[in-house]
Every structure is written in structure tokens, then in C-alpha cells.
């Protein structure tokens, strides 16, 4: 009897693994960093800070030079990655406050739901920033839903928004971690709670000072002022230096529990680095030459190493497809005096590489982000691809890999570019739309980029980023002028007209 039982287990493990592999069902891990620029990685030309673990992914995988987030800020890019839809189609999907409600519709297909349909266990660890709940104000003292679960994640360990805004808490499966009922959480984005010490009133309590031009002078946690105000939940609040460590461990725990379930996993690891406030783990403080921004790049690269080693030790490296990317382009001073801008200028570090602009902007550095795909045995190592690809297509492309059929009649922007993502083809996406912070859309097709005229400053002075905003129409020849220096709109009115028409069609589609 016992022998029969053992035989059944052995056989079913064999069939399960065999099935998983033969049907093309690898584990899938998306490592999604925050505000990392194209030029911040060694494999993309950076020399001042080393990123050996990410460079190794590129050496053994395929490194894309023309891959795009859909937007140059966080919330809309994440919205697109997870829902397969452009965020500008839906109101209220720009950078969200920490007390916003969930913006991803729960009744449509999402990237994690594609995996659930294929029998995967799904999880999200890290930064969320897509809103939670459907009631305002959010009650942080009970389970908050809808949230990651309703979007398609079986497991979640997140912080709600960004590291620089309240509530500064971890949430596991949509509940504040370690919350004591006697110390309930309240959050307010308008005014401080009586008795709460704020960065504005008490700069002497801060260990990292905010840039007074950019706020971040509300609630203080761990010696750092944040956007917004908060009361209570002391035990649930994080220590910034531990974020990387905690998230890495939660990732490994998730992988282990999925193996216990004998299911392949899909994990979206939304690393909080290298967003502000940059407060690296102790081991990384002062380790780079680029101030705290360089230190958190080292820490982020270390996290990638921890996870890849974790996969290797568990014998999962071969059967795990890893995608590494970022939600938007780089920024140096994004609200705190952490010497990022000064050190980068002194040493000539170009976080956006050869591309103009950065986070928030319509210029290329806003959305052209690092993008590496790693799948040993399936992708030729050290390959590069200049194909135009977009994160919005991961949903349809993974659906294609898993042979999951997206529902007929459901509108999405996601298309199947699996063969391009796996380096089997270099087929460009037909076109991409780029969304800067002011949502004056740009469209790129066949190497030509059209930028819609818009109001707004050409330079965001506080963050020192060129926006690309202009009252004039702009047209750039990205193949010959990747730095977007000469506006050719006057010279090629027909190209302008054609791209405008295409943009109109895309925005009107539903």
C-alpha cells in the first residue's frame, strides 16, 4: 500500500514536471524596478556603478535596447503591465496618492489571471501603487479589498503606494502587517493629525532631508519625511533599510510555498529600489561613488542576485523565465537631498544613457527602459535585440506561450509578440504610444516619433528634467537622432499627418 502511494507520488511528480515543461509552462518571474534608467546598468554602458547580477542576466539572456514602459511614471506603467491596456484610456490612473482606490478593473483579463487560468500560483511582492479598496476613506484596519487578489494574485506582500508616501506599512494578503487593534491607522493627505510630528515642523528629527521645493515634509517614519499624514499603526511601519531584505525573503518564501503546492508560479516582484527615499540597507551605505542613488542600485542588483541564486539552489533556474525591467525612466533629485544629482554630475554618470529627458518626460528616456529576458535553454545567451517592444504586450504574449485564449470581444491593447520577446524574431511592435506626466501622448512607428503639442514647462526645474513639452508639433527620426535633437516636423508634414492620424485611431479604439 505504502509503496503504491510512493509510486503514485513519484509518477505524478514526473508527469507534472514533464507536462509543465512539454506544454511550455515555465515559472515566470517579472522583476520590475522603480525609476531605473536605461543607462544605469553595466550591460547598457554604465561604468561608475557595477550591476554584475543584472549583467549576468543579459549575458545569459536577451537584452533589449528599444523596450518601453507605456508611461514615464509609475501608476500608468504598472496599470498597463498588469491589465494589458493603456492607462490613458481610463481617468484617474496618473500617479496615485497612497489612499486611492484600486484603478485596475476587476472584471477584465489581467496578466496574473492569464497565469491563474493556466493553473499557476500567482503572487506579487513589493510596491503596488495601483490603489486599494473601493471606499473612501480606505479603512486600513481590516482587510482592504478589492486589491491584488481581485486583480489575480493568489498571494500579496506589498506596500500600498510608494516609499515616499503614507501609509508607510507592509500589507500581507491585503491586511496591515503586525497591526495592533489598540493602535489603529488613519491616513490623511490634506492635514496633519493633532500631535503628529511632521518633517516640516521638525526638520531636526530627519536623517535624510527633503528638498523644500518638492514637499515630502509630512509624516515622519524612520527619520524621513513623507508625502501625506498618518496616525497609528506604529508596529506596521517599515524601516527603509530592511525593505530589500524583507521583500527578497518574501519572494523566496513564495517560491517555496508554490513548490509545496506543486504548481508552477507567476511572481511579479516590484522592487522598491531605486525610488526615493533612497535609504539603502546598512551593508550598502556609502558603497558606491554615486551617493545613495548608486548605493540603492547596488542593493537592487544584489536583490536580483539573491533571487537568481535562490532559483539556482532550488534547481529552478532552467525552468524559470525571468523578465527584468523598470516602470519608467530615471530621476536624480526626486524630492530628497541625497546627493544623487551632484555625484552623477561630478562623475559623468548618465542614467538615461544616450536618451534625452527622464522620468515624467515625453522624451525617450521617460519610457525607454532596461528590458532583459532570461530563460536558459530557450534563449541564446548574450543576444541583443533592437526590436521595438512594449510592456503592454506581456499579457497577450504570455497568454500565447501558455495557450490561454483571451476572451473574444474583450478590448485590450495587448498583442502577441512572444517570438520577439524570446529572441526568435526581431519583429517590431506596429507602433507604441508613450505617455508623459502631462499625458500629451507621443506615438512611435518605424523609428519616427510624433509628440503632441502641449502646455507645460520645457524643464521641470526641481527635478531638473527636460519634459519635451512644447506648443509646437515635434517629429524625431529616432534611428538617426536617438537623442531627439532635431525637430523635423516642419520638414516632413506628411509623416506628421500620418502619425497624428494613427494616434487618433488608437486613442479612439475601444
Q: Measured between alpha carbons, how far is 43 from 52 in angstroms, rounded to an integer? A: 9
Residue range at the interface with Ca ion (CB under 5 A); choices 72-80, 94-102, 341-349, 429-437 = 72-80
Q: Measured between alpha carbons, how far is 38 from 358 in angstroms, rounded to an integer? A: 10
Query: Does 34 help bind ligand NG6 (rule: CB under 6 A)?
Result: yes
Q: Which residue, among 59, 130, 123, has the nearest Cα to 96 in the 3D structure?
A: 130
Q: Which of 35, 217, 240, 466 binds Ca ion (CB under 5 A)?
A: 35
Query: Does 214 help bind ligand NG6 (rule: CB under 6 A)?
Result: yes
Q: Which residue is closest to Ca ion by CB?
A: 74
Q: Which of 73, 174, 210, 414 binds ligand NG6 (CB under 6 A)?
A: 73
Query: Does 95 help bind ligand NG6 (rule: CB under 6 A)?
Result: yes
Cell of 127: 510596491
Between 428 and 466, name the residue whose CB sits nearer to ligand NG6.
466
Residue range at the interface with Ca ion (CB under 5 A); choices 69-77, 106-114, 196-204, 468-476 = 69-77
Residue partners of 125: CB distance under 8 A and separation at least 6: 156, 157, 158, 247, 250, 251, 254, 267, 268, 269, 270
Q: Measured between alpha carbons, how far is 467 from 227 in angstroms, rounded to an integer? A: 23
Q: Which of 148, 215, 232, 352 binds ligand NG6 (CB under 6 A)?
A: 215
Between 462 and 498, name the residue whose CB sits nearer to Ca ion.
462
Q: Measured between alpha carbons, how far is 159 from 31 in angstroms, rounded to an integer? A: 16
Query: Does 164 help bind ligand NG6 (rule: CB under 6 A)?
Result: yes
Residues 327-346 that bind ligand NG6 (CB under 6 A): 328, 334-335
**49 contacts 294 by C-beta, under 8 angstroms:** yes
Q: State the nearest-atom distance from the C-beta of 325 to Ca ion, in Å.
A: 11
Q: Exposed, middle or buried, 327 (CB in 10 Å: 0-12/13-18/19+)?
A: buried
Query: Does 393 help bind ligand NG6 (rule: CB under 6 A)?
Result: no
**Pairing of the two strands 229-231 and 186-188:** antiparallel
How many residues make up the chain in this entry? 510
Count the neighbouring beta carbons within 10 Å of the beta carbon of residue 313: 10
Query: Does 454 help bind ligand NG6 (rule: CB under 6 A)?
Result: no
Residues 222-281 that bind ligand NG6 (CB under 6 A): 227, 275-276
Cell of 379: 534563449
DSSP character string of 154-222:
SEEEEESS-TTBS--B-EETTEETT--TTS--EEESSSPPTT--BTTT-GGG-SB-B-GGG---SBEET
Between 255 and 440, name the residue whose CB sits nearer to ligand NG6.
440
The count of residues interacting with ligand NG6 (CB under 6 A) is: 16
328: DSSP letter: S
Q: Which residue, among 437, 454, 447, 430, has the nearest Cα to 509 in the 3D structure?
A: 430
**70 contacts 87 by C-beta, under 8 angstroms:** yes
Residues 180-209 that bind ligand NG6 (CB under 6 A): none
Query: Does 219 help bind ligand NG6 (rule: CB under 6 A)?
Result: no
Query: Does 158 help bind Ca ion (rule: CB under 5 A)?
Result: no
**50 contacts 43 by C-beta, under 8 angstroms:** no
Q: State the nearest-atom distance from the C-beta of 95 to Ca ion, in Å.
A: 9
Query: Does 196 help bind Ca ion (rule: CB under 5 A)?
Result: no
Residues 353-372 that bind ligand NG6 (CB under 6 A): none
Query: Does 361 help bind Ca ion (rule: CB under 5 A)?
Result: no
Between 175 and 293, name the residue whose CB sits nearer to ligand NG6.
293
Cell 501625506 -> residue: 228
User: Which partner from the list Ca ion, ligand NG6, none does 482 bind, CB cut-off 5 to 8 Å by kind?
Assistant: none
Between 301 and 327, name the residue whose CB sits nearer to Ca ion.
327
Q: State the nearest-atom distance from the C-beta of 388 to Ca ion, in Å.
A: 21
User: Which partner from the list ligand NG6, Ca ion, none does 162 bind, CB cut-off 5 to 8 Å by kind?
Assistant: ligand NG6
Between 252 and 392, name the residue whose CB sits nearer to ligand NG6.
392
**Pairing of the two strands 389-390 and 67-68:** parallel
Q: Measured between alpha carbons, how far is 5 from 483 in angstroms, rounded to an integer? A: 64
Query: Does 327 help bind Ca ion (rule: CB under 5 A)?
Result: yes
Q: State the nearest-atom distance from the C-beta of 460 to ligand NG6, in Å.
A: 10
Query: Does 217 help bind ligand NG6 (rule: CB under 6 A)?
Result: no
22: DSSP letter: H
Query: What are the C-alpha distances in Å from 448 to residues 272, 313, 469?
Result: 33, 45, 17
Between 35 and 154, name the residue whose CB sits nearer to ligand NG6.
35
Query: Does 334 help bind Ca ion (rule: CB under 5 A)?
Result: no
Cell of 202: 521638525
Residues binding ligand NG6 (CB under 6 A): 34-35, 73-74, 95, 129, 162, 164, 214-215, 227, 275-276, 328, 334-335
Residues binding Ca ion (CB under 5 A): 34-35, 74, 327-328
Amino acid at each position: 500500500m505504502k509503496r503504491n502511494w510512493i509510486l503514485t507520488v513519484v509518477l505524478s511528480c514526473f508527469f507534472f514536471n514533464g507536462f509543465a515543461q512539454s506544454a511550455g509552462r515555465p515559472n515566470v518571474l517579472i522583476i520590475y524596478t522603480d525609476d531605473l534608467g536605461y543607462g544605469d546598468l553595466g550591460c547598457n554602458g554604465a561604468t561608475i556603478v557595477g550591476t554584475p547580477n543584472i549583467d549576468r542576466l543579459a549575458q545569459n539572456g536577451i537584452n533589449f535596447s528599444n523596450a518601453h514602459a507605456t508611461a514615464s511614471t509609475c501608476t500608468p506603467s504598472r496599470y498597463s503591465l498588469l491589465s494589458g491596456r493603456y492607462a490613458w484610456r481610463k481617468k484617474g490612473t496618473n500617479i496615485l496618492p497612497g489612499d486611492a482606490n484600486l484603478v485596475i478593473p476587476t472584471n477584465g483579463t489581467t496578466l496574473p489571471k492569464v497565469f491563474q487560468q493556466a493553473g499557476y500560483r500567482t503572487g506579487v511582492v513589493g510596491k503596488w501603487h495601483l490603489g486599494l479598496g473601493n471606499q473612501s476613506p480606505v479603512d486600513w484596519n481590516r482587510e482592504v479589498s478589492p486589491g491584488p487578489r481581485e486583480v489575480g494574485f493568489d498571494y500579496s506582500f506589498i506596500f500600498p503606494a510608494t516609499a515616499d508616501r503614507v501609509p508607510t506599512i507592509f500589507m500581507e494578503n491585503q491586511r496591515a502587517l503586525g497591526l495592533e487593534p489598540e493602535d489603529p491607522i488613519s491616513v490623511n493627505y490634506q492635514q496633519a493629525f493633532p500631535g503628529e510630528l511632521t518633517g516640516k515642523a521638525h526638520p531636526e528629527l530627519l536623517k535624510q532631508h527633503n528638498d523644500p521645493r518638492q514637499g515630502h515634509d509630512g509624516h515622519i517614519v524612520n527619520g524621513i519625511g513623507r508625502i501625506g499624514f498618518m496616525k497609528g499603526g506604529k508596529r506596521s511601519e517599515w524601516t527603509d533599510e530592511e525593505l530589500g531584505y524583507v521583500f527578497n525573503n518574501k519572494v523566496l518564501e513564495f517560491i517555496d510555498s508554490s513548490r509545496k503546492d506543486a504548481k508552477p508560479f507567476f511572481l511579479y516582484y516590484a522592487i522598491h529600489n531605486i525610488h526615493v527615499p533612497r535609504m539603502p540597507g546598512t551593508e550598502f551605505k556609502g558603497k558606491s561613488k554615486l551617493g545613495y542613488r548608486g548605493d540603492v542600485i547596488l542593493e537592487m542588483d544584489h536583490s536580483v542576485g539573491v533571487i537568481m541564486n535562490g532559483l539556482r539552489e532550488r534547481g529552478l533556474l532552467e525552468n524559470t523565465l525571468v523578465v527584468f525591467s523598470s516602470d519608467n525612466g530615471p530621476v536624480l533629485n526626486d524630492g530628497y537631498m541625497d546627493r544623487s544629482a551632484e555625484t552623477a554630475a561630478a562623475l559623468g554618470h548618465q542614467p538615461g544613457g544616450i536618451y534625452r529627458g527622464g522620468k515624467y518626460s515625453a522624451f525617450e528616456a521617460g519610457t525607454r527602459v532596461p528590458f532583459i529576458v532570461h530563460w536558459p535553454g530557450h534563449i541564446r545567451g548574450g543576444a541583443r535585440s533592437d526590436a521595438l517592444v512594449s510592456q503592454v504586450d506581456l499579457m497577450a504574449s504570455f497568454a500565447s506561450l501558455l495557450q490561454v485564449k483571451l476572451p473574444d470581444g474583450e478590448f485590450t491593447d495587448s498583442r502577441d509578440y512572444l517570438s520577439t520577446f524570446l529572441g526568435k524574431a526581431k519583429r517590431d511592435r506596429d507602433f507604441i504610444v508613450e505617455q508623459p506626466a502631462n499625458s500629451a501622448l507621443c506615438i512611435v512607428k518605424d523609428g519616427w516619433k510624433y509628440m503632441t503639442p502641449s502646455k507645460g514647462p520645457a524643464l521641470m526645474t526641481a527635478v531638473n528634467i527636460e519634459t519635451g513639452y512644447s506648443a509646437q508639433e515635434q517629429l524625431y527620426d529616432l534611428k538617426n537622432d536617438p537623442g531627439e535633437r532635431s525637430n523635423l516636423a516642419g520638414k516632413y508634414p506628411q509623416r506628421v499627418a500620418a502619425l497624428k492620424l494613427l494616434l487618433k485611431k488608437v486613442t479612439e479604439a475601444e
